[in-house]
Chain A
């Protein structure tokens, strides 16, 4: 019913409470819901330095509601959103507030391999995993590294219209290609930044929503889960080169919604690194296998393209405060479906939006939501 963000970026002078207060107040105001009417708060956050969930939402008021904190790595707040939806579907609650927040250290985020042989061998870092996806894709389909760089160019182009984005300055293909090498072909600008930020959404039972607002979108499908051994031949290495898990999870979400990928008008997907976007466009069924690189090069994944993806800049430019990312994706879909995305608006506006949020590391989870207006 309402969404809100604290702008993503570097906010070393701000506390988690300040970040959450701004995002949550924006969402509650948009929904027309006073905090005293909220019956449940679910929260996504990851890093201990972010502060506790109880403390983070404390400035909204002390109304005695349950506050549930969830850590599911990069997919924490989309999981918190799912928890809120399921609590409402159960009939126990009518109105929930979902918040996601993070205050992050600079530098590489490591998958949860601390102390393991992968950590000692330097295989616990995320860039090599995404570089493996890129190299496998290039080898299989003959794509070039320019296609992956073009993902970043498109992302930064979109983000210049997003006042909440961490990076709002366009980049040229040359700037992306020639930036510092991280893990071939992943250069610096193929990587999302670590950011501070917060996001919030108000979730409400359908029969209660009209008391507050006429502006809402509906959760029409969802699925979440973790890898199965048989999902992919390469899964046992954690690399999941073709995102077979996302394909399975998205299929379950489409089935629940009774729609298919051809119905999706706008998508927010987990582009922590550029290769993630190209591989996942295909895994989500938005185009055929081996087609995403070419479609990216032809601009079809842009705001005016046939399969608009990450219209707000995605993780690459909007930023990736781990716990806040999932609900930030949902916030963009909310704006797009209601035709309120301004210069980022996809023509239509689209009737169906998809969010794909992924957690990193071995046996890591995927959350997919489908929304309709």
Chain B
């Protein structure tokens, strides 16, 4: 499991669907607010039983206003 603390958000994608996601590991609480634009980040969350790296989708505040 991802080490705490982490942030959980409901993200409305520009294309329509909604996803529940956790924040990237570099995101801190001062960057989080309801309604903020975010972008996708892909990060490793550890390794599986066979030692293979496991990646996950996470969110981070959008850079340059895009998401």
Residues from chain A with a CB closer than 8 A to the CB of B8 are 122-123, 128, 131-132, 183
Counting CB contacts under 8 A, is A139 at the interface? yes
CB contact list, B1-29 vs A, under 8 A: 1-2, 4, 6, 8-10, 17-20, 22, 29
Residue in A122, A183, A184, A234 with the greatest tally of chain B CB atoms within 10 Å: A122
A69 to B26, alpha carbons, bound, how many Å?
A: 47
Q: B-side binding surface: helix, strand, loop or mixed?
A: strand
Cα of A184 to Cα of B29 in the assembled complex, Å: 10
Interface stretch of the complex, out of A99-107, A237-245, A319-327: A237-245
> Which residues in A have their C-beta under 8 angstroms from that of B29?
184
Could you tell me if A237 and B18 are in contact, using CB atoms closer than 8 angstroms?
yes
Within 8 A of B (CB), among A90-119: 117-119
Q: Nearest chain B CB to A350's CB is how many angstroms away?
A: 37
- Binary interface encoding of chain B residues 18-46 relative to chain A, with 1 for a CB under 8 A from any of its CBs, else 0: 11101000000100001100000000010
With CB as the reference atom, state the residue of chain A lying closest to B6: A122
**Chain B residues with CB below 8 A from A123, complex form:** 8, 20, 22
B56 close to chain A: CB less than 8 A: yes
CB nearest neighbor in A for B22: A121
Q: Which residues of A contact B (CB under 8 A)?
A: 117-123, 128, 131-132, 135-136, 139, 183-184, 233-234, 236-239, 241
Extra contacts besides A121-B1, A122-B4, A132-B8 (18): CB < 8 Å:
A118-B20, A119-B1, A121-B2, A121-B45, A122-B1, A122-B6, A128-B8, A131-B8, A132-B9, A132-B10, A136-B10, A136-B34, A139-B35, A184-B29, A234-B18, A237-B18, A237-B19, A239-B20
